[in-house]
Amino acid sequence: MKFAADPMIASAAMFPTAERPRLGERRGLHLVPHMGDDERKRKGDPGGPGTAVITKTKPQTKRPNLYRVLLLNDDYTPMEFVIHVLERFFNKDREAATRIMLHVHNHGIGECGIYTYEVAETKVTQVMDFARKHQHPLQCVMEKK
């Protein structure tokens, strides 16, 4: 029995007619038949053998949407409670908390902070639960920035 120069390429002597691989096919693998240069030119394929274009793309990460957490004024929640909420849930110092509380009191609404959706949603829920627990009607909402 004779073997081809490359043992992976099928030769007629290695296989009976029924098992014989087609032209350009290796045993166990499927290969595209090799086109000659004249065939490639006729088909409009500009690349020669062994040519490839490698493009390196940098993945683009999109910044998350931000949401404003707002406190709404009411006539029943004590100012000191609002200051306590701002200090506890929004990590504001006494001066900043007082400034925000007065803004809410004078303008009817005030911004506590800007966060991603999940963080903003958590802060709104925490403030609302804390206000209900202490029997205050304080309202906290979030809006897309």
| Nearest by Cα to 27 from 5, 1, 8 | 8
Q: E-assigned strands of 73-123?
A: 109-116
* Least confident window among 13-22, 48-57, 134-143: 13-22
Say what the pTM is: 0.61
Q: Tokens standing for 118?
A: 């999940």
What is the predicted pLDDT for the residue at 52? Answer: 79
| Nearest by Cα to 123 from 97, 90, 99, 98 | 90
Q: How far apart are the first and last CA of the chain?
A: 78
Q: Tokens 């029995």 appear where?
A: 1
What is the predicted pLDDT for the residue at 55? Answer: 83
- Give the DSSP H/E element, type plus range, for residue 66: strand 66-72
Among left, alpha and beta (phi > 0; psi -120 to 50; other), residue 135 is: left
> How confident is the model over 20-78, as pLDDT tens digits?
555 555 555 555 555 555 555 555 555 556 777 888 888 889 999 999 999 999 999 99
What is the predicted pLDDT for the residue at 17? Answer: 54
User: Could you give the CA distance from residue 140 to residue 130 in angstroms, rounded to a whole number?
Assistant: 11
User: Could you give the CA distance from residue 89 to residue 25 in angstroms, rounded to a whole number?
Assistant: 69
